[in-house]
Amino acid sequence: GITGLLIPLLLVLTRAQEKIPQAFSGFTQDVSFLVLGSFIFAAIMQSTGLDRRIALAVLSRVKPQVDQVIKGLMTVNIALSIIIPAAVSRSAVLLPIVRGIMDLFEDTPEGRRARGALAITGLCYFPMVGGILLLTAHMPNVIMAGLFEKELGYQLSYAKWFWLHWPILGLLPIMFLIIRKQLNVGGISVPGGTDLIQAEKKVLGKMSLVEWLVLAVFAVAVMLWITEPQHKIKTGLATLIALGVFFAPGLLPTPWKTLQNKTIWGTWLLLAGALSLANAISDTGLAKWIADLAGPVFKGQHFLVIVVGFIVFTALVRIFMLSNVAAVAMLAPIVLSLAKTLNLNPVAFTLLVGNFDTFSFIVPTQVTACVIAYGTGTFDTKTYSKVGIPVMVATLLYFVLIMMPWYAVNGLPVWGGYVTWR
């Protein structure tokens, strides 16, 4: 959070942005209010226990086998991505549940493999990958969408983002097979079956009237997001309208102070600061300057060489960076500017590079959610990279063979030239 506040401050002090409103532009964009509203929604759901209820409801339906529980965690993360708009928050919600399952295993080779697999997948991989699907589920999505609107005048609505990215679901079974093989968890049973999950469900009891109310109002917010092209109400404003219903006097029994403490303000401040940084990288001409330096390296190359080459380059650079949000904030304006230099579609090129950044799975310190998983002490960096590198290779192939043609079918051919985003 402090980093997010210091970014605009440094922009002003260094005279990169001389006007304070310009330096803090990320704090006033519609997408930043969309995310803040989503964070407050998540706080409301956490205060009612709705997030845990959804997670336990899915996990209670899987067989007591480690690989089946991993499938359940995959599904849980996709479900949670609808209501919890940050990978690190989804990881935090699942941490006590996953820890409870891991504690059932004894300290044997099989047990250690099972614990490591559950931590890597449930707390790291799937919270990250599940976020690509929905605009509000992953902070880099918001950064890229905001950049497209500001720099290109091209708006990716909630519905349009989903339509462009639903094929990413096809990557999940491939990831599952790689994880199952590399971590060798096939056939390992969960001691005691899923009794722990059933016991947790009993503690929660039946859904309360408040929980149903929360679901209903959130469903209205989602419908407003999806139908934005029809009613023309921006998603950020629509989110605030839905929240206004929640805070009608006497409607929600949870006091604001409770929700205030559960809202992840620090992540929002970081996001808004990152948006300000992304704007400054473009406004000051830095993105163009770096793109002009990189341009000659790729100039005249086939578009596949450019796309794959730049993805591999950024993957190597990301080894030394912790935050996925900060990385995309810095990279996206440069990639967008480079697209102009190389006459590539800027939206498709930026999405391919920015989305691949989500799969930075070489070392755990590349992603905050994966640091949470690493903190469980159930796996080492060698085990992590043993799974992560094959997943990254499979993802690169999937992006080239599936996602790139899909963008083209939807009017965003990466090879079609700079003006094809129009």
3-state secondary structure of 226: helix
Average pLDDT, the chain: 85
- Per-residue model confidence (pLDDT) at position 193: 64
Alpha helices by DSSP H, listed for 84-135, are 87-102, 109-120, 126-129
Q: How far is CA 80 from CA 34, 76, 175, 203, in A?
A: 17, 6, 19, 20
- Per-residue model confidence (pLDDT) at position 304: 92
pLDDT at 367 over 80: no
Rounded to an integer, the average pLDDT of 378-390 is 90
- Per-residue model confidence (pLDDT) at position 325: 80
* Selection from 119-133, 158-172, 175-189 with the highest mean pLDDT: 158-172
Rounded to an integer, the average pLDDT of 138-157 is 89
Report pLDDT digits (tens) over 36-76.
Answer: 887 788 788 778 887 778 777 777 777 878 888 888 888 88
- Per-residue model confidence (pLDDT) at position 8: 92
DSSP secondary structure string, 145-180?
A: HHHIIIII-----HHHHHHHHGGGGGHHHHHHHHHH
- Per-residue model confidence (pLDDT) at position 322: 64
Report pLDDT digits (tens) over 7-44.
Answer: 999 999 998 888 888 899 889 888 788 778 877 887 88
Rounded to an integer, the average pLDDT of 255-266 is 84
Which H or E run contains 224?
Answer: helix 209-226
- Per-residue model confidence (pLDDT) at position 355: 94
Question: Cα–Cα–Cα angle for 339, 85, 363, nearest 5°?
Answer: 65
Rounded to an integer, the average pLDDT of 93-107 is 78
Rounded to an integer, the average pLDDT of 164-190 is 89
Percent of the chain with pLDDT over 90: 20
CB atoms < 10 A from the CB of 68, how many? 16
Rounded to an integer, the average pLDDT of 335-346 is 90
Q: Which comes out higher in pLDDT, residue 215 or 168?
A: 168
Say if CB 100 and CB 55 are below 8 A apart.
no
Q: Measure the CA–CA gap between 42 and 48, rounded to whole angstroms.
A: 10
pLDDT at 192 over 80: no
Rounded to an integer, the average pLDDT of 177-187 is 87
The packing angle between helices 303-317 and 381-398, to 10°, is 160
Q: How far is CA 228 from CA 30, 33, 134, 155, 412, in A?
A: 13, 15, 15, 11, 21
Report pLDDT digits (tens) over 349-366.
Answer: 999 999 999 898 998 877
Which H or E run contains 304?
Answer: helix 303-317
CB atoms < 10 A from the CB of 213, how many? 17
- Per-residue model confidence (pLDDT) at position 194: 67
- Per-residue model confidence (pLDDT) at position 351: 96
Report pLDDT digits (tens) over 130-146.
Answer: 889 989 888 889 889 98
Least confident of 45-59, 69-83, 173-187, 383-397: 45-59
Which tokens go with 7?
């970014």
- 362 secondary structure, DSSP code: S
Report pLDDT digits (tens) over 221-250.
Answer: 878 877 877 788 887 888 888 888 888 887
Q: How far is CA 376 from CA 42, 98, 295, in A?
A: 24, 10, 43
